[in-house]
Amino acid sequence: MGSHGRPPAGATLRDLGEFGLIEAVTARFSHGRDVLVGPGDDAAVLAAPDGRVVVTTDLLLEGRHFRRDWSSAVDVGHKAAAQNLADVASMGARPTGLFLGFAAPGDLAVDWALAMADGMAEECAQAGASVSGGDVSSADSIMLGVTALGDLQGRPPVLRSGARPGDAVVLAGRLGWAQAGLALLTAGSAAGDSRWVDDPRWKELIAAHRRPRPPYALGPVLAAAGAHAMCDVSDGLVADLGHIAVASGVSIDLASEAFLIDEAMRSAGAALDVDPLRWVLGGGEDHPLVACLPPGVTPPAGCIVIGSVLSGAGSAGAGVTVDGERPVGSDGWDHYGQSATDAS
Amino acid sequence: MGSHGRPPAGATLRDLGEFGLIEAVTARFSHGRDVLVGPGDDAAVLAAPDGRVVVTTDLLLEGRHFRRDWSSAVDVGHKAAAQNLADVASMGARPTGLFLGFAAPGDLAVDWALAMADGMAEECAQAGASVSGGDVSSADSIMLGVTALGDLQGRPPVLRSGARPGDAVVLAGRLGWAQAGLALLTAGSAAGDSRWVDDPRWKELIAAHRRPRPPYALGPVLAAAGAHAMCDVSDGLVADLGHIAVASGVSIDLASEAFLIDEAMRSAGAALDVDPLRWVLGGGEDHPLVACLPPGVTPPAGCIVIGSVLSGAGSAGAGVTVDGERPVGSDGWDHYGQSATDAS
């Protein structure tokens, strides 16, 4: 609306006001071809060329999903976008738009909000999507409500329920890195000791916690290759494949030798006295894609075969084995704390 | 996933766990024809028959947007859905789907969450939409991130920027009722006196604060009638028409005699020493629709003419007059408190 210019240095959200904040934030967002009506009206209008639209939503809360002393504002924006865009890609869809509900205290620095918006816009650009609308409100702590949309490009959505015995289980993207980074940050915080965080050997693990790198483009590629089932790993590999196993009425066996655990994970595991395979099997937040591909299909470039789909339904969570045995300590994450083994 | 039945009486979210809560909540939602893939996968798939989709999102926070002692769980569900569905209707679209991000303390009663879900489902049904997906998390207080989608049915979206001199400004739905109800609840709370809330004369005003009744069906009807501009009233009539005036480069004059202020509003205004016209001009939360109709178009049934569009752009917020004069005390609501005159 043109009445506010660039916000002054050191300004807070209260200084800028609701409409000034909306204007300053939306000025950071450029809009791709899918955005037909962008921010500034009662609602946005996105293209849905396929006649269907994929939709997913998540809340991210300060202190639960991120900490401002562990992640920069840019990181938080990247991560909030990534976890939703990965859900869209895991349906086999091309991400198109992202919507943000943002609530924060009035004394938050405007610079934090703008840097977060920049991170979100950058992550969207990596996935081919645009931040297309939103809402701001005040709150005692920062919270983000993020909704992502995507286009199926004429293909059926790839559900959790389509896995069939004989399928190969393939992985695209990093696994366990974010959980290792979180473990290092947690240990450093508990010990009041920055060496866990500053050690150059573990820089990439910490960075992985702060900014996941989901392989967005491989979602549509895996769908086009005929994937029977797919999801992103957000609760942990065993937990998420457990959802596929239950929904599909199958069992899944993983081959531990498929997981190439690199030196950073091994040394961090040794330092923290944790078997890094536990991070690989139980850690979420890297948001890689796992898919079940029919026999005879060559996995697309960037995918590694990690197991196979077997006949026979297991009960919830018991349908996934590693080298034929039930893995220990990989239950994943329950937001009300019933069965979490890797609580942050 | 079938492992949980009906939750036991008195159960909390922590008792039920994340997946139990998701299962119990999604069991309350029935899905209309627009829901192609409902809750339970990484994302939902909605029909977008028009090849475009209207999207809007909002956050609702306990203590800021609702109070559990002032509104029941069912009311909160209705209101959270209504304010987003009204945004969709105000673009001229038919609401199709609603997505919910829900965060709450682990000690919240499961019954509260389920009743909220029921309210949300009922409100969606009134608008012809379905709750189609979501996410749950834990938090210190209750927060709802709500996203609503809609279908334009082949028509152009009705924006804020299309008003033209000579248009009639028409209103569909109640105005000022919710603000009067909030004023009564606030006065009762400050005085520790339930007579403000229990007085049968004001029952409908209190109810209007708890459950708005946006005229969803009139959004597409007004669009089909050729509305040049439209929005729902969420910040206050003068503030929201101010957005239309600025976006369209016009002025708007309202006729005070058009506002039929009924006995409940008059008696509540007298009791609280407030001119009820202030609630009409400045109160949001009823979510009626206001539209600018071209000359010669008969307003659809249920719409009342309240003013006219004039040439000449005003500066922000100054483009709206009542009987030719700038109204006082009707600036509407700024979430960071810069210019709010009716803060709740």
Q: Are residues B179 and B273 in the same domain?
A: yes
Q: Are residues A256 and A302 in the same domain?
A: yes
Q: Are residues B184 and B258 in the same domain?
A: yes
Q: Are residues B129 and B34 in the same domain?
A: yes
> Which residue does chain A place closest to B42, by CA atoms?
A87
Q: Work out the minimum CA distance from B281 to partner chain A, whole angstroms.
A: 19
- Mean of pLDDT values over A239-261: 94
Angle, CA of A150, A22 and B66, to the nearest 5°: 85
Q: Are residues B317 and B198 in the same domain?
A: yes
CB A96 within 8 A of CB A150: yes
The parts of chain B modelled with pLDDT lower than 70 are 1-6, 313-318, 328-344
Tens of pLDDT along B255-292?
Answer: 999 998 999 999 999 999 999 999 999 988 899 999 99
The CATH number for B270's domain is: 3.90.650.10
Judged by a CB distance cut-off of 8 A, whether residue B105 touches chain A is: no
Of B18, B55, B88, the CB nearest to A97: B55
pLDDT value for B342: 33
Final residue of a structural domain among A118, A151, A184: A151
Judged by a CB distance cut-off of 8 A, whether residue A132 touches chain B is: yes
CB B226 within 8 A of CB B244: no
Angle, CA of B204, B208 and B211, to the nearest 5°: 130
- ipTM of this predicted complex? 0.90
Final residue of a structural domain among B151, B176, B194: B151
pLDDT value for B318: 59
Q: Is residue B4 part of a domain?
A: no
Tens of pLDDT along A159-213?
Answer: 999 999 999 999 999 999 999 999 999 998 888 877 888 899 999 999 999 999 9
pLDDT value for A192: 82
How many domains is chain B partitioned into structurally? Answer: 2
Q: Are residues A234 and A114 in the same domain?
A: no
Tens of pLDDT along A131-161?
Answer: 999 999 999 999 999 999 999 999 999 999 9
Residue positions forming the annotated binding site of B for ATP: 134-135, 160, 234
Contact A316 B46 (CB under 8 A): no
**β-strands B94-104, B130-138 pairing:** parallel
CB A92 within 8 A of CB A223: yes
Judged by a CB distance cut-off of 8 A, whether residue B338 touches chain A is: yes
Of A40, A42, A57, the CB nearest to B91: A42
Instruction: Write out chain A residues lying below 8 Å of B219, CB-based.
Output: none
Judged by a CB distance cut-off of 8 A, whether residue B3 touches chain A is: yes
pLDDT value for B309: 97
Q: Are residues B33 and B124 in the same domain?
A: yes
Q: Are residues A111 and A247 in the same domain?
A: no
> Which residue does chain A place closest to B21, by CA atoms?
A336
Residue A71, φ and ψ in degrees, nearest 5:
-130, 140
Alpha-carbon distances of B340 from A17, A51, B238, B282, rounded to whole Å = 10, 42, 13, 10
Q: Is residue B337 part of a domain?
A: no
Render B124-187 in DSSP notation, one character per residue. HHHHT-EEEEEEEEE-SS-EEEEEEEEE-TTSPP--STT--TTPEEEEES--SHHHHHHHHHHH
Interface A-B: count of C-beta contacts within 8 A: 244
- Mean pLDDT score across all residues of chain A: 90
Judged by a CB distance cut-off of 8 A, whether residue A27 touches chain B is: no
Q: Are residues A196 and A282 in the same domain?
A: yes
The CATH number for B108's domain is: 3.30.1330.10
3-state DSSP of A136-200: EEECCCCEEEEEEEEECCCCCCCCCCCCCCCCEEEEECCCCHHHHHHHHHHHHHHHCCCHHHHCH
Residue of A13, A34, A41 best to disrupt the B interface, most CBs of B under 10 A: A41
pLDDT value for A18: 86
User: Token pair of B146, please?
Assistant: 């709500």
Q: For residue B70, what are the domain limits? A: 13-151
Cα distance between residue B208 and residue B180, in whole Å: 9
Judged by a CB distance cut-off of 8 A, whether residue B158 touches chain A is: no
Tens of pLDDT along B224-237?
Answer: 999 999 999 999 99
Residue A260 — very low, low, confident or very high, per pLDDT cuts 50/70/90? Answer: confident
Q: Are residues A116 and A215 in the same domain?
A: no
Cα distance between residue A59 and residue A68, in whole Å: 16
pLDDT value for B314: 53
Q: Are residues B219 and B259 in the same domain?
A: yes
- Mean of pLDDT values over A119-134: 95
Q: Are residues A184 and A308 in the same domain?
A: yes
- Mean of pLDDT values over A233-239: 94
Please report, rounded to a whole number, the percentage of residues in chain A having pLDDT higher than 70.
92
